[in-house]
Structure 1
Amino acid sequence: MTTDDLPVIAAVDGSAHSWEALDWAVDEAVRRRLPLLVVHVRPRAGHGEEEKGLREAGELLAQAVLRVSGRAPELPVSTLAPLDFPSAALVSLSRDASLVVVGSRGLGGFRSLMTGSDSLATASMARCPVVVVRTGRTDGSDAEPAATSLDVVAGVAADESSGAVLDFAFEAAAARPGGRLRLVHGWTMFSSILSGGPVFDSEAAAESAERALAELTAGRDEKYPSVEVVREPVRGSASRTLVTASATAALTVVGRRRGGESLGLGLSPVAQTTVTHALGPVVVVPS
């Protein structure tokens, strides 16, 4: 298997959120023309319980395969049921994956928590991009989910650290004809000073942030001519804009800062807020 056909991994545990994530993963695998690997991580059981756990895992994965075949009959699909802690197993498997897709909460999630600890840990430490799926179909409310557009929204820093985020975002937008790529960048007067930009003129600082975004995307505009790009410099934190946009975006893309992965501290404040409070699918892209 080459790096071009590494699978999309979908983690399932029998919860409604994981079935929602599986459906999203199937659609993305078809869009990317990649195989799908459905993973159910078996919890460590007491003596004599392993056979029961293995049987239940087999039944769950068979149900998942049936669901996949009903949605995408031609999609190559395989299954795996490792015995481990969920985030540890998914982080390990992410070394040989194009994408890992998880639900916002699993069977052990509390309703008061928008995102489960396993989802956050996986997004913080995985070696490949991780999508945390939330579409509103499983939030328990009677309200209809917001209509989803084809737009891809990306939170970017106006420097070279956003290269991986931009690459992923442009590719995702190109795979969704008819949508736009919205690039959101939060700036402050302090960040303008640090970058050598205007010090006291906020209008000039905003224009400087706009130019920086244009410079970042110059080469990619040529590579993806079909992608309509909207640049959105936002004064202050970009978190509010990203969370609001996520309600109707096809996908919201954020980056993961360098360092801290071994301690599970790979998410920046903007990424953590976006993943935790987003109203739609969010992908965390490692630098």
Structure 2
Amino acid sequence: MTTHDLPVIAAVDGSTHSRQALDWAAREAVRRGLPLLIVHVMPLTRNVDEETRQREADELLAASVRRTELIAPALRPATLAPLDFPAAALVSLARDASLVVVGSRGLGGFRSLMIGSNSLATASMASCPVVIVQDSGSEEDDRPQDHGAACTDIVAGVAADESSEAVLEFAFATAAARPGARLRIVHGWTMFSSMLSGGPVFDRESAAGSAERSLSEVTAGWEERYPQVEVVREPVNGSASRTLVTASATAALTVVGRRKGGESLGLGLSPVAQTTVTHALGPVAVVPC
């Protein structure tokens, strides 16, 4: 199996969030021409006997397959039910996946939390991009719906250095798979970041021009590789994470990098990625870089 054949993994646990993640994963697998693998990780618990646990897993996976048939009848997804801790299993499976898609919270998630611990841990440690799908509909109507159908923008947050290559590659490929999609490339800058990069320190207009040039340099060559994608570059004076969270409300997907240096937060996410994932109003892709 080549890297172009590696599946999109959809993690399901029976929650509304995971069903919405399954819907998103099925549509993305079709767009990218990739197989879909539906995974339900059977929890390690003594409260349920093995036979009951396996029966419930089989029922959930069968229901998930039927759900995908309503979205993409020709997809023919495979299923898997490993016995493990959810995040550990998904991180392991991510080594042979193109993409892992999870809901923002599972059955055990507290409503007061914007994102569950398993979703956050998977995004922090997986070796492939992880998409976290936020709750976007009412639990009263759980039929498959494309809540992002009206959104065409793909938003990518990039830094003005080589660490953004993986983010750009994923963002351009995602936009290219969606006819008519526009790619907004966002780069947040401040006078302090200008100073750290050796740019102007006291002249805001010069610093803005320096940021714009840096963004052009980082993104150079990508439009030639993806001529079908409309690109908008947005150097923003201020918080990149705030800009990305705002943009996520009307984006089909917001893409951020899991940059080195976030380990101090304990979960391997940079501050920008952490804030975006936690507060985004739409699906967020976390790309290892």
Q: TM-score, normalised by structure 2?
A: 0.93
Kindly report structure 1 stretches of 4+ aligned residues shifted beyond 4 Å. 259-264
How far apart, in 2, do the equivalents of 1:120 and 1:128 lie? 14
How far apart, in 2, do the equivalents of 1:129 and 1:220 lie? 19
Could you list the per-position Cα deviations for residues 216-254 of structure 1 after superposition, in whole angstroms to 9, with x for gaps in the alignment? Answer: 111101111121111111122211111111011010000
Query: Which amino acid in the other structure matches residue 126 of structure 1?
Result: A
Please provide the CA RMSD for this pair: 1.9
**Contact kept in structure 1, 2:11 and 2:18, CA below 8 Å:** yes
TM-superposed CA distance for 1:282, in Å, is 0.3
Give the one of 213, 231, 243 matched to 1:229: 231
**Contact kept in structure 2, 1:148 and 1:247, CA below 8 Å:** no
Label 1:210 to 1:234 Cα distance change in 2 as closer, same or farther (>3 A). same
TM-superposed CA distance for 1:173, in Å, is 1.1
Query: Which amino acid in the other structure matches residue 28 of structure 1?
Result: E
Give the one of 212, 217, 220 matched to 1:218: 220
TM-superposed CA distance for 1:48, in Å, is 6.8
**Contact kept in structure 1, 2:182 and 2:231, CA below 8 Å:** yes
Label 1:164 to 1:19 Cα distance change in 2 as closer, same or farther (>3 A). same
Label 1:95 to 1:55 Cα distance change in 2 as closer, same or farther (>3 A). same
Query: Which amino acid in the other structure matches residue 212 of structure 2?
Result: E
How far apart, in 1, do the equivalents of 2:261 and 2:88 lie? 18
How far apart, in 1, do the equivalents of 2:262 and 2:275 lie? 17
2:79 pairs with 1:79: yes
Gapped regions of structure 1 (runs ≥ 5): none
How far apart, in 2, do the equivalents of 1:155 and 1:81 lie? 34
SS at match of 2:136: coil
The within-5 A match list for 1:1-287 is: 1-46=1-46, 49-134=49-134, 136-138=136-138, 148-258=150-260, 265-287=267-289
TM-superposed CA distance for 1:76, in Å, is 3.0
Query: Which amino acid in the other structure matches residue 275 of structure 1?
Result: V
**Contact kept in structure 2, 1:181 and 1:229, CA below 8 Å:** yes
Query: Which amino acid in the other structure matches residue 238 of structure 2?
Result: G
Query: Which amino acid in the other structure matches residue 41 of structure 1?
Result: V
How far apart, in 2, do the equivalents of 1:235 and 1:259 lie? 22
Could you list the per-position Cα deviations for residues 160-180 of structure 1 after superposition, in whole angstroms to 9, with x for gaps in the alignment? Answer: 011100111111111112121
TM-superposed CA distance for 1:260, in Å, is 6.7
Label 1:103 to 1:138 Cα distance change in 2 as closer, same or farther (>3 A). farther
Gapped regions of structure 2 (runs ≥ 5): 141-146
Label 1:156 to 1:262 Cα distance change in 2 as closer, same or farther (>3 A). closer
SS at match of 1:250: strand
How far apart, in 2, do the equivalents of 1:42 and 1:214 lie? 47
TM-superposed CA distance for 1:258, in Å, is 2.6
**Contact kept in structure 2, 1:43 and 1:85, CA below 8 Å:** yes
More deviation, 219-228/251-260: 251-260
Query: Which amino acid in the other structure matches residue 212 of structure 1?
Result: S
**Contact kept in structure 1, 2:103 and 2:135, CA below 8 Å:** no
SS at match of 1:82: coil
How far apart, in 1, do the equivalents of 2:42 and 2:281 lie? 29
More deviation, 255-264/191-200: 255-264
TM-superposed CA distance for 1:114, in Å, is 1.0
Label 1:186 to 1:214 Cα distance change in 2 as closer, same or farther (>3 A). same
**Contact kept in structure 2, 1:148 and 1:249, CA below 8 Å:** no
How far apart, in 1, do the equivalents of 2:135 and 2:112 lie? 17
